[in-house]
Amino acid sequence: MARELSPQEKLDLITSQLQEVLKPEILEDVIIKQNRPLVIYWGTATTGRPHCGYFVPMVKLAHFLRAGCRVKILLADIHAFLDNLKAPIELVNYRAEYYRFVVTSLLKALNVPIDKLEFVLGSSYQLSKEYTMDIFRLSSMVTEHDAKKAGAEVVKQVENAPLSGLIYPLMQALDEEHLGVDAQFGGVDQRKIFTLAQETLPRIGYKERAHLMNPMVPGLAGGKMSSSDPDSKIDILDNADAVKRKIKKAFAAPREVEGNGIISFVEYVLLPVSALSRDDGTGEFVVNRKEGEEPLKYSNIEDLKADYREDKLTPQLLKAAVTEALNNLLAPIQEEFQASKEWQEVEKKAYPPPPEPEKKKKKPKDKGSRYPGGKGPVTAQPDGSVEGKDADKVSVGEDAREAMEKLAV
């Protein structure tokens, strides 16, 4: 059993590997001065299928739980509907349930105690009279320009955008109050929403919260990891062959470290995950080489990056090692999925296969009426002659001689 951490150790673990923390004094007041568990929430809009990029926030949730925090996971079903209809209203409840299965299984795979973990469905309180009135109060103080700016990196941007995209950031700010938390955790892409919350909540009588931000980790294709881009992400339920194929295709230029999604995955997932299971808190990433050569072992991402720049660690070696480590990480999750009929049923309802496109029926070619057997004023007879009111125009004669005369042969 892991030893109890001191308040300062808890604070250090909570803030480790983050890109930025807004209002860190709130964390210090709660953890060190008040010496009580920090209450923090992480929200996820239940839209596309969760992918391996979700391991990045899961590692931090594991840190929060290890530090004794009370963690609330908001399954933001209404947010999912508001974000340019990314999730049809008929499917959001099923998708929220699917996310609950996935997040629970991910944390269990990290060997994290989840007794202080709480799932909250957004619609369970966001449809209340009190919450609705708060939306009205906040919307009377936030301009259209500021609401659009706040959601620019989170809400899907389209021409002639629907009003729902402006409501989205207001709701995310209000969730802090209605969930009763000390802090909110998310990616650095949500910084503008966090700033909006800090500026506006006190104006309607609510306190400021701390905000903890993860860096944005590149996807396998080099850009942002996205549920809507199959080439940029690996699904939680992808089998070993699919994982191998996708990592093999991933962008990883030799000697180039910046923007390398494979190295980022080692830095923000594989090394921290390894550290969670070791008593000394130090992770290890092993790269096996050909027979007779010692494997490369890394406990520090800077050492790995240095070897990669020198081409001692090649893209091929790195990809093979990441493939093996990731498949080992996914195996217990997929085993749990295969063993759970309930999870499988929810998955089918949450992400039904698209309907097959209707096959176009072949239209019969209109050959006209002036051919043997064609419909119209002329009908072909078995002996080769034609009958009908226009028979004299079509027929070339009753015998060879007459035909030759008509054709001027």
Alpha carbon distance 73, 118 (integer Å): 6
Question: In 3-state terms, what secondary structure has residue 286?
Answer: strand
CB count in 10 Å sphere of residue 38: 24
Contact 80, 99 (CB under 8 A): no
Contact 126, 55 (CB under 8 A): no
Question: In 3-state terms, what secondary structure has residue 321?
Answer: helix
What tokens does 178 get? Answer: 């209605």
Alpha carbon distance 328, 357 (integer Å): 38
Classify 7-214 by CATH class: alpha beta
Alpha carbon distance 174, 73 (integer Å): 15
Instruction: Note the pLDDT of residue 222.
Output: 56
Instruction: Note the pLDDT of residue 330.
Output: 96
What pTM was estimated for this model as a whole? 0.81
Residue 363 burial (C-beta neighbours within 10 Å; 0-12, 13-18, 19+) = exposed
Residue among 47, 89, 94 at smallest CA distance from 227 = 47
User: Each residue's pLDDT tens digit in the chain (409 positions)?
Assistant: 567 899 999 999 999 999 999 999 999 999 999 999 999 999 999 988 999 989 999 999 999 999 999 999 999 999 888 875 566 777 888 999 999 999 999 999 988 888 889 999 999 999 999 999 999 999 999 999 999 998 888 777 666 767 888 898 999 999 999 999 999 999 999 999 999 999 999 999 999 999 999 998 887 755 555 555 565 689 999 999 999 999 999 889 999 999 899 999 999 999 999 998 877 778 999 999 988 899 999 999 999 999 999 999 999 999 999 999 999 999 999 999 999 999 999 999 999 987 777 777 777 666 555 555 555 555 556 555 556 655 555 555 555 555 455 545 4
CA dihedral for 234, 236, 241, 242, sign (positive or negative): negative
Alpha carbon distance 158, 373 (integer Å): 57
In b/e form, how buried is each residue of 315-331, taking b as 16+ CB within 10 angstroms? bebbbbbbbbbbbebbe
Topology agreement, domain 7-214 and domain 240-350: no
In terms of residues, how long is the chain? 409
Instruction: Note the pLDDT of residue 115.
Output: 85
CA dihedral for 56, 57, 58, 64, sign (positive or negative): positive
Chosen CATH of 240-350 out of 3.40.50.620, 3.30.565.10, 1.10.240.10, 1.10.357.10: 1.10.240.10
Q: Where are the domains of the chain?
A: 7-214, 240-350
Q: Could you tell me which residues come within 8 angstroms of residue 156 by beta carbon, excluding any fewer than 6 positions away?
A: 83, 84, 86, 165
Alpha carbon distance 21, 44 (integer Å): 19
CB count in 10 Å sphere of residue 291: 5
**H or E segment to which residue 121 belongs:** strand 117-121
What tokens does 269 get? Answer: 């997932």
221 phi, psi to nearest 5 deg: -90, 0
Contact 289, 295 (CB under 8 A): yes
